[in-house]
């Protein structure tokens, strides 16, 4: 036992040293998490294959086998029209389902991004634009309530990242985002990002300094299916602009969403869904375009690419499918080759 008087002196010296060591280790761990790549999928529940079930478990295992390190889980918010302030939670992912989805993904060792989307019938999130100052205030107030609900669940279930919004390009100039980000910070201890629509919105956003990463979805027109030279020029220009944006704001880039239907004519409007246009399958086009995007986005500032999309149904996709999923298609091999170096997986 130490003599009286000496133990207290040593304790006073050791406490700051211990605190400094703890802070150093915490910062190092945080930096390590921030530096990890987030390649993976936006995962969506297929009818009859709910999160928490055996099929979803198997589907997540298949995604990880391809080299996925992360998944984005997508709770939808709904509003009746683009100008309505009446935004609320959707019915397809109640709170318990969101919890199950996060737990199931983390149980497979996957990093989780919780990435809410706003759904508007016959329209999309990028068109949301309340038509008066009172409607703007009401919309943000209701949106914040929903985001806080999602943030609490994401925090309680240990999700690593939370998107405060996705593709809300007609709202991102508003000052209300400052308070909304502060509210999310109070509830969620992980990393925050916003997923801008294409590089044009990403360059216009002013609140990047308040976030941990620049998120972006990429669906620029890519020309004719057979014009590979033209699409490579587009992709290269997008990647250069993202690198410049990363340097300007001092934040890494996460491509939170990218993809293409496995359908003829898909490169003209890469955002177009199977419901919007009937087309013949073209699986090789999807594989080739994804391979070109991965090559173009192989930049130091781009810390991950998340493909749209992957279903909880492990048998989804296949040779006749013309949707965005890569399941059961040559694009799976492209991703496995890029993410694991194994280039013969099916």
pLDDT tens profile 194-218: 999 999 999 999 999 999 999 999 9
Average pLDDT along the chain: 91
- Could you tell me if residue 162 is inside a domain? yes
What is the pLDDT at residue 342?
86
pLDDT tens digit string along 87-98? 999 888 999 999
12: tokens are 């006073």
- Could you tell me if residue 102 is inside a domain? yes
Q: What is the CATH number of the domain that holds 229?
A: 3.20.20.80
- Could you tell me if residue 210 is inside a domain? yes
DSSP string covering 148-196: HHHHHHHHHTT-SEEEEEES-TTTTT-THHHHHHHHHHHH--SEEEEEE
The β-bridge partners of 195 are 166, 215
- Could you tell me if residue 9 is inside a domain? no
Q: Are 93 and 44 in contact (CB under 8 A)?
A: no
Of 146, 138, 145, residue with least CA distance to 174: 138
For residues 250-259, average pLDDT: 98
What is the pLDDT at residue 33?
44
Any residues with CB less than 8 A from the CB of 120 and at least 6 apart, and which?
78, 79, 80, 81, 82, 127, 128
Q: Are 40 and 110 in contact (CB under 8 A)?
A: yes
Region of 244 please: left (phi>0), alpha (psi -120 to 50) or beta. Answer: alpha
Give the structural domain span for 87: 36-340
Q: Tally the domains of the chain.
A: 1
What is the pLDDT at residue 327?
98
Any residues with CB less than 8 A from the CB of 243 and at least 6 apart, and which?
253, 299, 300, 301, 302
Residue with token string 């990002």: 193
- In this prediction the pTM is 0.89
Q: Are 147 and 171 in contact (CB under 8 A)?
A: no
- Give the DSSP letter of residue 46: B
- Could you tell me if residue 24 is inside a domain? no
Give the Cα separation of 235 and 312 in Å (integer). 30
Give the Cα separation of 7 and 136 in Å (integer). 61
Measured in whole angstroms, the distance separating CA 122 from the mean position of its chain's CA atoms is: 23
Between helix 283-296 and helix 228-249 the angle, nearest 10°, is 40
For residues 296-300, average pLDDT: 97
Tally of residues, the chain: 346
- Give the DSSP letter of residue 67: T
Any residues with CB less than 8 A from the CB of 294 and at least 6 apart, and which?
305, 334, 335, 338
- Could you tell me if residue 80 is inside a domain? yes
pLDDT tens digit string along 222-241? 999 999 999 999 999 999 99
């Amino acid at each position: 036992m130490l003599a009286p008087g000496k133990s207290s002196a040593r304790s006073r010296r050791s406490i700051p040293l211990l605190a400094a060591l703890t802070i150093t280790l915490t910062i190092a761990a945080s930096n390590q998490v921030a530096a990890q790549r987030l390649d993976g999928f936006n995962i969506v529940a297929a009818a009859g294959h709910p999160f928490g079930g055996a099929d979803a478990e198997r589907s997540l295992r298949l995604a990880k086998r391809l080299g996925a390190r992360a998944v984005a889980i997508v709770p939808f918010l709904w509003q009746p029209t683009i100008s309505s302030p009446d935004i609320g939670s959707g019915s397809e992912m109640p709170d318990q389902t969101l919890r199950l989805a996060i737990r199931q993904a983390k149980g497979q060792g996957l990093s989780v991004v919780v990435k809410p989307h706003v759904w508007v019938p016959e329209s999309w999130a990028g068109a949301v634009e309340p038509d008066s100052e009172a409607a703007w205030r009401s919309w943000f107030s209701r949106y914040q309530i929903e985001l806080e609900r999602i943030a609490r669940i994401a925090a309680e279930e240990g999700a690593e990242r939370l998107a405060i919004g996705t593709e809300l390009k007609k709202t991102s100039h508003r000052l209300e985002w400052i308070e909304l980000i502060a509210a999310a910070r109070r509830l969620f201890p992980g990393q925050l990002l916003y997923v801008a629509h294409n590089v044009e919105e990403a360059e216009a956003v002013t609140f990047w300094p308040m976030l941990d990463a620049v998120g972006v979805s990429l669906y620029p027109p890519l020309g004719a299916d057979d014009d590979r030279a033209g699409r490579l020029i587009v992709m290269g220009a997008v990647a250069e602009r993202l690198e410049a944006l990363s340097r300007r704001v001092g934040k890494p880039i996460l491509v939170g969403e990218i993809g293409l239907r496995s359908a003829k004519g898909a490169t003209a409007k890469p955002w177009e869904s199977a419901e919007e246009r009937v087309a013949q399958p073209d699986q090789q086009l999807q594989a080739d375009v994804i391979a070109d995007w991965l090559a173009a986005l192989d930049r130091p500032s781009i810390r991950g690419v998340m493909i749209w999309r992957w279903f909880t149904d492990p048998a989804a996709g296949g040779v006749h499918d013309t949707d965005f999923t890569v399941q059961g298609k040559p694009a799976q091999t492209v991703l496995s080759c890029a993410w694991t170096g194994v280039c013969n997986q099916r």
